[in-house]
A = this chain, B = another copy of it.
Amino acid sequence: LSKLPLVEGVLRYTKENNVSLSMPGHKGGLGFKETLIGQELYESFIKCDITEVDGVDNLHLPQGIIKEAQELLSKYYKSKKSYFLVNGSTSGNLAMVFASFDEGDKVLVERNCHRSILNAIILRKLRPIYIKNKVHTKYDAPMAIDMEHLLHIINLNKDAKGIIITYPNYYGICTELEFIIKECKKNSMKVLVDSAHGAHFGVHKDLPESAVLLGADLVVMSAHKTLASLNQGSFLHVNNESLIEKVDFYVSAFLSTSPSYMIMCSMDYSRYYLQENGKQAYNNLLFNSKKYRRLINEIPHIHILDETDMKSIDLTRYVLNIEKGYSAEVFYKYLKSKNIQPEMCDGRNVILIFSPFNKEEDFNIVYNAIKSCPIEDMKEEYNEVIINEIPAMVLQPYEVMNRKRLWVPLKTAIGRVCAGAVVPYPPGIPLITLGEEVDKNLINMIEYYVKIGNTVLGIKNKKILVLEDEHEEGITYYI
């Protein structure tokens, strides 16, 4: 047994020296080594882990160098005000939801939103109306929201106070944000955008446009996902002046009063790097990305999603789709055996996240690995991905809190209220979530996914978590 399991485990991982095609964007520190000042920061990082001593300002009442740095950030992204977040986009999502809505407000939200958005909806006690996401039938990847469904939902819910959009999604796929903003503004809805994966958007003409420039009221971006920031570094941009005072309060409430100057410095550096070198750096990255995408797409059974598949997609990212009848899991393990670290595998697609700090050599390693991949040895039976209708909501998600819950066999769960989301991979969209009613159709679908052996979060031994009925013995208290 290790006396220091976490330290030893992480150090062991660093010694694998993988080609980093996962987050964070700085790629093991490479992002800092590209400039003189970045190199100096890299070498002094731990010494920069200081507290609010004289001259280094205070994140919770910025009047000096933090204020200056946030103003440069705002100017660069063309927002009314921008914030450094040291608790990731999670804290940005909480802050923007709390600042925009009050208890009981109705909000439109993508079914395939991030967990922190659902948590914010629960904590703020909102009433969500879910918008369906489309799924690509060829690639089994979750796509942008179903626009027809959205327009229908807007028409039925003109009293909604706002909408929460993911732009882009984990796969780099973008929704028609400009059109959505126009439609929502017609109905005086606030538009909140979780752009965790889009901090680099707008830097180059071949990238999708920045959500801030498209006119969203509030935009959250993870600086650590695609830029040179350390983990937990995120930006929050406000376009709507009337929200600034509220955002000030909630950002401060959800962030540590001992914020990391390392993380804050890395965010200042990320913005600086984009501003000084962004155009050239993304030009190079997109050049390599396109060149090797073309080469890899000539290899049988593997296809990287591109602009012919999707209207708007982040071309810096590789979504490696494995043809139906071949195993993406085995393919993922193969890449790992070649010292390539992908970001994730959903059962049909393997995602690689490149940043400007991945040079041509990294693309070449990926290309050569795939070219010599024994894909014919990776056959498996294909089972279709089916998407259900969103089940009926009988309780609001926050109403599920503080009630007793228990695990019951799927077969006996008809008519009961779900107390924990059920999410199959692919495509990673919840089949049912908190407060929705279990029906026959849903049970069939879950049984299907379990039977074909796909990962299904929220199901244990063919049991599902539901709220307790009054006559049952309480197993435990839920949150």
Contact = CB atoms under 8 A, between A and B. Distances in A.
Interface of A: 1-14, 18, 22-24, 26, 28-29, 32, 37, 40-42, 44-51, 53-57, 64-66, 68-69, 72, 86-91, 94, 98, 102, 114-116, 119, 122-123, 222, 224-225, 230-232, 242, 245-246, 248-250, 252-265, 267-269, 272, 275-276, 336, 341, 343, 402, 476-479
A130 to B, nearest CB: 20
A167 B122 CA distance: 32
B53 A6 contact: no
A256 B29 contact: no
B49 A256 contact: no
Given A94-B253, A231-B256, A249-B479, 14 more contacts: A4-B37, A10-B50, A12-B55, A14-B44, A22-B53, A23-B258, A24-B258, A28-B50, A32-B46, A54-B341, A122-B253, A222-B258, A231-B260, A232-B258
A35 to B, nearest CB: 10
A120 to B, nearest CB: 8
B232 A265 contact: no
Contacts of A28: 46-47, 49-50
Contact of A13 (B1, B55, B72, B275): B55
The secondary structure that dominates the A interface is helix
B37 A7 contact: yes
Candidate in A14, A41, A45, A248 with the most chain B CB atoms within 10 angstroms: A14
A349 to B, nearest CB: 17
Given A49-B26, A87-B87, A232 B259 contact: yes
How many copies, total? 2
B24 A51 contact: yes
Contacts of A56: 9-10, 13
Nearest to A120: B253
B245 A476 contact: yes
A2 B46 contact: no
Given A56-B13, A250-B479, A225 B258 contact: yes
Interface centre among A49, A94, A225, A336 (most CB of B within 10 A): A49
Nearest to A46: B29
A90 B255 contact: yes
Q: Residue among A53, A261, A402 with the most chain B CB within 10 A?
A: A53
A90 to B, nearest CB: 5
Given A14-B44, A28-B46, A231-B261, A256 B9 contact: no
Contacts of A276: 3
Given A46-B32, A250-B479, A9 B65 contact: yes
Contacts of A32: 46
A433 to B, nearest CB: 15
Nearest to A31: B46
Contact of A6 (B29, B66, B402): B66
A423 to B, nearest CB: 13
4 A-B pairs closest in CB distance: A88-B256, A249-B479, A9-B65, A6-B268
